[in-house]
Structure 1
């Protein structure tokens, strides 16, 4: 590539990064200002600088917590989606494919069924534990194939474990009212009423997952060339798979624990990120994380505005818009030719 062409590409990528940063700032302000009780930006800034002026505790009591949760959850899901698609070589892969969401949901239902709890704090820790256990189980089953150069065993094991856990969840919620109530609140996927109690431990787990994702960047770039070429470049595939699975599990587990199962961000954010900054995972990871955070916050704002007092959960808004995005991705990736 000639020097002028390289400079032009670099300029475009820097502009894309600046645009994503500006977009995050815009949706952040919208998240603090908009809802069933709209607040002007000036009053939002005043409340942020002087909490005592936040008379009804709308900004600090409700919107700041859900905005922070939205940024963390969206960023984690965006990064997890990049790693998942890079590890499997499947442009339609989603972090939930490794059974993370199903494991978290089953843990919450079991907590209500066995322990009789229905608190959000207990649900958070149970969800994180369930997500980790499910991912370990998926990896253990996949290693039985003794062919970690092939991502298919991981995908098949994830699908099988998710189906099995889903069947157990269905049995429990249909036979126990307390389990059904806990699952009903959990499965919708929402930032409302979550609070910040579980944010510190979730941030620790997410930070470890993000570090593993960064350590996996070189392997992901090599895997885009194919497993044989990756091995020729010196990649140890079992180590690359293990680090990648750890990154997917920890980032997704923290996101699911904070907001419940939220789909489509891990699927769509990497594609938008690639369109903006290219396929180098060193740039793609943060770009996809920013796209995920922007998307989640924007959909949360839409749900609040169109729902009024009875707001529409962000999981429902994402499912509606994500279905359209999924069709677009399928058409662009020529699924029939894969």
Structure 2
């Protein structure tokens, strides 16, 4: 029932993304844009222009949803999210360095640099958060992520401020947006999405055992170190690839995973694939809201998700008292 509901909601969000915006199109124009390539009306062309953006927002939302679910499972931290742990900022720093010092300009180059930056940042934050008594507790990981994100943001500013050409290229990407989507970026992104989603689904049962504690998981035959490394790699790949192409969009992984866990419970065999659907719904409808609120321009989707996600983070921290999963 939940799967059917999510698919219906996703379909509604996709139609809304194709129809709504600074120029709202009618049903006949929607049909012409989708199924009648010989029709060359303005409304039909608007729909065709929005198809790539809609597909890209669905894919990015799914990737961020799965990435958030994997990071929460690996760290046993209910508020783990690429943006909260500083992974997005690490990916952004490497992209900025590539633009400033290596003159990169293609989606392929962005992705690999962002993935390397996300991986290094994830390892660093987890290492810092693991120090001291109690290991990597949720509160220590969040504090380490916040401190790392602040430091890396300062480095980003230090690099782009004296370089106006980097600022021009970076400023629209920095807030997180799917507005510049094209089919080349989507084609580049698809292998990372498929790989991360497959790893997440295949590792779900073992991650369920990991939630019981390392000792219990080891007793059940789970290689905890290998599992954490593989699951974290999948989460970082999804986050890094999304950040490279759409910018650092925050809170989608946190929102999608908590909504699904609230409805279906903690079983990751259901949470991970459903987090992909809910993440796609959240990001797509946020993009539509951004277009409607900012009409005739648009409000970037990263601003909308932050506006929704920040209060949720405060509520979770207050009510759950940052308990471990």
Q: Same fold (TM over 0.5)?
A: yes
SS at match of 2:38: helix
Write the deviation string for residues 150-173 of structure 1: whole angstroms up to 9, x where unpaired: 545994876665455333212101
When the two chains are superposed, the root-mean-square deviation of aligned CA atoms in Å is 2.7
SS at match of 1:52: coil
* Cα deviation code 1:257-285 (max 9, x no counterpart): 22111001011110101122221111111
The structural deviation recorded for 1:104 is 2.5
> Which residue number corresponds to residue 11 of structure 1?
none
Residues 103 and 130, structure 1, Cα contact 8 Å, conserved in 2: no
- Structure 1 residues 336 and 279 mapped into 2: Cα distance closer, same or farther (>3 Å)? closer
Shift of 1:71: 0.4
2:46 is equivalent to residue 58 of structure 1: yes
Q: Report what 2:154 is aligned to.
A: 167
In the aligned structure 1, how far is the partner of 2:119 from the partner of 2:304?
A: 31
1:69 alignment partner in structure 2: 56
Q: 5+ residue gaps in structure 2?
A: none
Deviation at 1:337, TM superposition (A): 9.7
Shift of 1:214: 1.8
After alignment, is 38-47 or 292-301 more displaced? 38-47
Match of 2:269 among 266, 276, 282: 282
Show the counterpart of 1:96.
83
Residues 127 and 253 in structure 1, CA contact (< 8 A), matched pair in contact too: no
1:36 to 22, 36, 57: 22
Per the TM alignment, residue 295 of structure 1 is displaced from its structure 2 partner at its CA by 0.7
Q: Is 1:127 the equivalent of 2:114?
A: no
Equivalent of 1:318 in 297, 301, 305: 305
Pair 337,231 (structure 1): closer, same or farther in 2 beyond 3 Å: closer
The 3 A distance-change label for structure 1 pair 322 and 212 is same
Change (3 A) 1:84 1:169: same
What per-residue deviation string (whole Å, max 9, x for no partner) do you get for residues 136-188 of structure 1?
Answer: 434665679799x9545994876665455333212101222122222212111
Q: Distance in 1 between matches of 2:318 and 2:71?
A: 20
Indicate if the aligned counterparts of 2:92 and 2:117 stay in contact, CA closer than 8 A. Answer: no
- Return 157-166 or 314-323, whichever deviates more: 157-166
Counterpart mapping for 1:240-319 below 5 A: 240-319=227-306
Alignment partner of 2:12 out of 6, 26, 38 = 26
The unaligned stretches of length 5 or more in structure 1 are: 1-14
Give the aligned length.
318
Q: 1:35 to 1:146 in 2, by over 3 A?
A: closer
Check the 8 A contact 2:249/2:302 in 1, yes or no: yes
| Correspondence for 1:86 | 73
